[in-house]
Structure 1
Amino acid sequence: MPFNSQRAERRTDALSKARIVEAAIQILDADGEGALTFRALATRLATGSGAIYWHVADRQALLAAAADHIIAGVMSEVTMRSKPQDAIRTIALGAFDAIYAHPWIGAQLSGDPWQHAVLRIMESIGRQVQLLGMPEAALFNATTALMNCVLGVAAQHAAAARLPRNTERSAHLTAIAEGWALLDPLEYSFVRRLAAQLPGHDDREQFLAGVNLVLAGIQSIWF
């Protein structure tokens, strides 16, 4: 084999897909989705774009692989509980915390609900729903209802991630609440009532409340 071919082969082997994904996550966490380009990635890895394309087909595949890496780690570390209901809460909160820590994941999960990262969450939740002893015909609706909680918060964080990076959450929510308070009291009486609660609400607490409501509904309908 020619010397140049041997050197290229060794370089490709050294530049594993795992290294590429880890470097992509570092860029995404530091500067957001817009900063992830193959040129930026090649610079960080001190290699050429061609070596990256050897392992990853395109940018979307790289984003999916990065999200899957994070979610796979979360699902492997989730501590299973003695009761399926508690396990579901733990899984859901694990996904929430991952999305909160890596805001770019929100856009990735909500943009492609059939990717591996989403299926990992569905598999983990679905196994616990199954342990509840639900009838086979109810498994799909029950599991997807819970998944909608996860994907809903993913969409919320995706929207928040699109705000300017220097936007402060409390000030942003306060401005929205002030707008709600100015709405027509006859047409939006309920929205105006919630305005005072918006700025100081806890996202994690709100998310868990939604999961608990779905779990309560599942148990009241099928048990």
Structure 2
Amino acid sequence: MPRDTLTREQIVNAAVELLDAEGLEGLNMRALGKRLGSAATAVYWHVGSKDNLIALAGDQAWNEIALPDLAATPWRTAATRMATDLHAMLTRHPWLLQAFGSLLMFGPGKARHDDHNLGVYEAAGFTGATADQATAAVFTFVLGNALGPAAAASVTRKLGREGGDAEQLMRDGIAEATEIAAHFPRLRERLETGAAGYGAGPDDSFDFGLQAILDGLEARLALRQSTR
């Protein structure tokens, strides 16, 4: 695709697809140019640098999160929807978690999300620093829960690049971990459960944890109101 017909939107969309498939380590301008039918130099001309392209791709992903109408949606319902959508988005794009550790990731898409997310907790009754703290508590919980799927995807890709059958190598690794866990009583009891997989947890762990945090936030609001 010639430079004059190639658009930034096309490049960012293709970058998201490549990142989803190959992770950060699989993104390079030559591979992206090939996917677009264009030269790597044309890609650089539109986005400037690889880091800038990753930032653009990441910011586009934030726009996938729906923003509930705060005037028509109870705050806990809105908080649950946004947290669940964020978790789903990070699971679809596990490379975004990788990027957080090495790049400054902030743009209009993330700002849109963050501003509305603060509005959810302000609608609940949190103000000032307490609204920031409530938002951060839920946000970091979601990030932590998304690390498992992201780690599993990264490990699978790494094993595949090293050659051989990635799935078999993963099974071998889990078998070794299982053998180690069998020597510890509490881990041994859980070897046949949903928590035994790499980076996994029991079924409904995310919902359980999210609602527990929201319960705690709601209790803090009730306590504050009762002491006024």
Q: What RMSD, in angstroms, separates the aligned Cα atoms of the two structures?
A: 3.0
How many residues are treated as equivalent by the alignment? 206
Counterpart residue type for residue 64 of structure 1: A
- Residue correspondence of structure 1 range 1-223 to structure 2 within 5 A: 11-72=2-63, 74-75=64-65, 77-80=66-69, 82-109=73-100, 111-112=102-103, 114-116=105-107, 118-165=110-157, 166-167=166-167, 171=171, 176-183=177-184, 191=187, 194-197=190-193, 198-199=195-196, 205-223=204-222
Instruction: Quote the Cα distance in structure 2 between the aligned partners of 1:40 and 1:112.
Output: 21
Identity in percent: 26
Q: Work out whether residues 95 and 121 of structure 1, in 8 Å CA contact, stay in contact via their aligned partners in 2.
A: no
Q: Deviations over 1:35-93 (max 9, x none)?
A: 21001111122222222122212212212211211221x22x45546211111111111
Match of 1:7 in 2: none
Q: Work out whether residues 84 and 132 of structure 1, in 8 Å CA contact, stay in contact via their aligned partners in 2.
A: yes
Label 1:174 to 1:145 Cα distance change in 2 as closer, same or farther (>3 A).
farther
Label 1:151 to 1:113 Cα distance change in 2 as closer, same or farther (>3 A).
farther
Label 1:43 to 1:113 Cα distance change in 2 as closer, same or farther (>3 A).
closer
Match of 1:6 in 2: none
Instruction: Quote the Cα distance in structure 1 between the aligned partners of 2:3 and 2:203.
Output: 42
Instruction: Quote the Cα distance in structure 2 between the aligned partners of 1:216 and 1:119.
Output: 26
Deviation at 1:22, TM superposition (A): 0.9
Deviation at 1:159, TM superposition (A): 2.0
TM-score, normalisation: structure 1: 0.76
Deviation at 1:218, TM superposition (A): 0.9
Q: Work out whether residues 25 and 66 of structure 1, in 8 Å CA contact, stay in contact via their aligned partners in 2.
A: yes
Q: Deviations over 1:80-112 (max 9, x none)?
A: 462111111111111111222222223224555
Q: Work out whether residues 146 and 214 of structure 1, in 8 Å CA contact, stay in contact via their aligned partners in 2.
A: yes
Secondary structure of 1:54 counterpart: helix
TM-score, normalisation: structure 2: 0.75
Secondary structure of 2:196 counterpart: coil
Counterpart residue type for residue 158 of structure 1: A
For structure 1, list consecutive stretches of 5 or more residues without a partner in the other structure.
Answer: 1-10
Label 1:209 to 1:178 Cα distance change in 2 as closer, same or farther (>3 A).
farther
Label 1:16 to 1:101 Cα distance change in 2 as closer, same or farther (>3 A).
same
Deviation at 1:21, TM superposition (A): 0.6
Instruction: Quote the Cα distance in structure 2 between the aligned partners of 1:173 and 1:217.
Output: 35
Q: Work out whether residues 22 and 66 of structure 1, in 8 Å CA contact, stay in contact via their aligned partners in 2.
A: yes
Instruction: Quote the Cα distance in structure 2 between the aligned partners of 1:130 and 1:111.
Output: 31
Match of 1:8 in 2: none
